[in-house]
Amino acid sequence: MSTAPLASQINQLLEPIHDFLLTPTPQAWLDQAAQPEALPLLLIDHLHCELKAAQSAALLLRRYILDKEAASQVLQWLLPYEDAIYRKQAVNLRALGNQIPRLKVATQTAWQARLVDRMVLLMKEELHHFTQVFEILQARDIEIQAVSASRYAAGLMRHARTHDPVMLVDKLIIGALIEARSCERFAALAPYLDEELSRFYVSLLRSEARHFEDYLTLAEEVNGGPVTEHVARLAQVEAELITTPDTELRFHSGVPS
């Protein structure tokens, strides 16, 4: 495939993402993230982010839909990945790739059925990304360290309304913002990375863009109509987290201070 159609496909993917986010990644973040010495930390943080993305989806399923048995199936699904990262156990992640639990779920509403469908697919994809980043770390001899979480996700969650069903609407909008920012940052960072990583980050764009759309559609569905006002409110918080000084460099950190 020549590069021109690929570039236009990427632009097409990114257009709704750029429309949704209020601000692009600041150049100062890119300058620091592009330093070769920052790369191991960023990759380890990226690995944690992929697992957290899967865990957050699991949490939504467990809190809003699943019975005890299905909830424990979902936790079992995550366990080997958690063993690999938190307990440094030797796990054959590739062999796990297709072991997706068949959940028995009695959903009552259309949004519940869609939530199960979308979140299970999202988990599968995030765990696949986890495996890919894990293998890159192994190939580069980068030891997985504990990395403190950035202020980003918690900073957004602090602004979610605190009672359901609107808390769920806000959590889904926050999910859309995190996916959109990840997608934007993968694309922004790719030109600064070596060829292997650059190609890998571009390969992630399509699924992250879809995750963004899935979360947003779910938010509208749970809300029973447009969520424009709440997107505007939370996107403002997101933009502040991205554009204000931040003491730690992470995948979703603000401007290096």
Nearer to Fe ion, 141 or 183 (CB): 183
**Count of chain residues binding Fe ion (CB under 5 A):** 7
Q: Which H or E run includes 256?
A: strand 255-256
Using CB under 5 A, which of 208, 214, 220, 246 touches Fe ion? 208
For residue 252, give the amino acid letter: H
DSSP 8-state secondary structure symbol assigned to residue 26: P
Alpha-carbon torsion angle 182, 114, 108, 103, nearest 10: -90
State in angstroms the smallest separation of the CB of 245 from Fe ion. 27
Per-residue x/- mask for Fe ion, residues 33 to 52, rule CB under 5 A? -----------------x--
Using CB under 5 A, which of 46, 48, 129, 250 touches Fe ion? 129
Using CB under 5 A, which of 126, 170, 214, 238 touches Fe ion? 126
Name the 3-class secondary structure at 44. helix
Nearer to Fe ion, 45 or 208 (CB): 208
3-state helix, strand, coil in the chain (%, to 5): 70, 0, 25
Nearer to Fe ion, 50 or 238 (CB): 50
Binding to Fe ion, residues 164-183 (CB under 5 A): 179
State in angstroms the smallest separation of the CB of 23 from Fe ion. 20
DSSP 8-state secondary structure symbol assigned to residue 143: P
Residues 216, 50: Cα–Cα separation, whole Å = 19
Q: Give yes or no for residue 246 binding Fe ion (CB under 5 A).
A: no
For 202, the token pair is: 């571009």
Name the 3-class secondary structure at 151. coil
What does the binding site for Fe ion look like in residue numbers (CB under 5 A)?
50, 53, 126, 129, 179, 208, 211
